[in-house]
Amino acid sequence: MSFNIAIDGPAGAGKSTIAKLAAKELSFIYVDTGAMYRTIALGLLRAGTDIDDEEALKKQLSGIAVTISYENGTQQVFLNGENVTGLIRTEQVSDMTSRSSAKPQVRAKLTELQRTLAAKEDVLMDGRDIGTMILPDAQLKIFLTASVKTRAERRYQEQIEKGESCTLEEIERDIEERDYRDSHRETAPLRQAEDAVLVDSSDMTIDEVVTRIVTLARERM
């Protein structure tokens, strides 16, 4: 049987950085489910879909195929066969992802893909509803969080390094809004599974968080 680790938590808690490193150390496959939702959002944006029109959404979704593969251990996402890994991190896609991932039809489309992967391989899967909905029997569940202030400061640094102009206040507001939307939506809201281990990374280094997760996993393997 495969060993599954679920890591959930809000945007900016460091999930993907930490999940990638922990997966490498454990020789697990890292599955970034946010990238899958982003791929669907890109497809919907390209088609100019009104996602609040259920019929239009259904029609567009039937023409969208999301697949993944691994290149040198790094997940690549494909939209109808096109590698879109480099196109899904824009603000426009982030915003559409936050809105479209609240739609049950969108979530239903990815549930099977995620469960099939986890059934076949030892995976470390990160997202929002992995421990609560997708892999309720995961052998290890982590809820990784950090204060809004810490997350905003991290994102601010990233934006500045990319040469993008923004203020810390704007980013804090944006994070608060997205947290609210992700945790108050009807379908698969972001919440900690009862049996998840809470890890607050606000005052921890990346290495400390990775070590914590790897240690917990080894104890249960």
Q: Interface with ligand DC by CB under 6 A: which residues? A: 11, 33-34, 37-38, 97-98, 101, 127-129, 182
For the bound state, the minimum distance from the C-beta of residue 156 to ligand DC, rounded and expressed in Å, comes to 16
For the bound state, the minimum distance from the C-beta of residue 219 to ligand DC, rounded and expressed in Å, comes to 25
Taking the least distance from each CB to ligand DC, the nearer of 122 and 182 is 182
For the bound state, the minimum distance from the C-beta of residue 171 to ligand DC, rounded and expressed in Å, comes to 14
Tell me how far apart the terminal alpha carbons of the chain are, to the nearest angstrom.
Answer: 11
For the bound state, the minimum distance from the C-beta of residue 33 to ligand DC, rounded and expressed in Å, comes to 4
H or E element, residue 6? strand 4-8
H or E element, residue 185? none
157 token code pair: 């640094």
Taking the least distance from each CB to ligand DC, the nearer of 15 and 212 is 15
H or E element, residue 17? helix 15-26
Taking the least distance from each CB to ligand DC, the nearer of 46 and 218 is 46
Taking the least distance from each CB to ligand DC, the nearer of 33 and 75 is 33
Structure letter (DSSP) for residue 212: H
Q: How many CB atoms lie within 10 A of CB 197?
A: 15
For residues 133 and 146, what is the distance between their CA atoms, to the nearest angstrom?
22
For the bound state, the minimum distance from the C-beta of residue 15 to ligand DC, rounded and expressed in Å, comes to 6
Reduced to 3 states (helix: H, G, I; strand: E, B; else coil), residue 64 is coil
Instruction: Confirm if 122 and 29 have CB atoms less than 8 A apart.
Output: yes
Taking the least distance from each CB to ligand DC, the nearer of 13 and 216 is 13
* Length of the chain as a residue count: 221
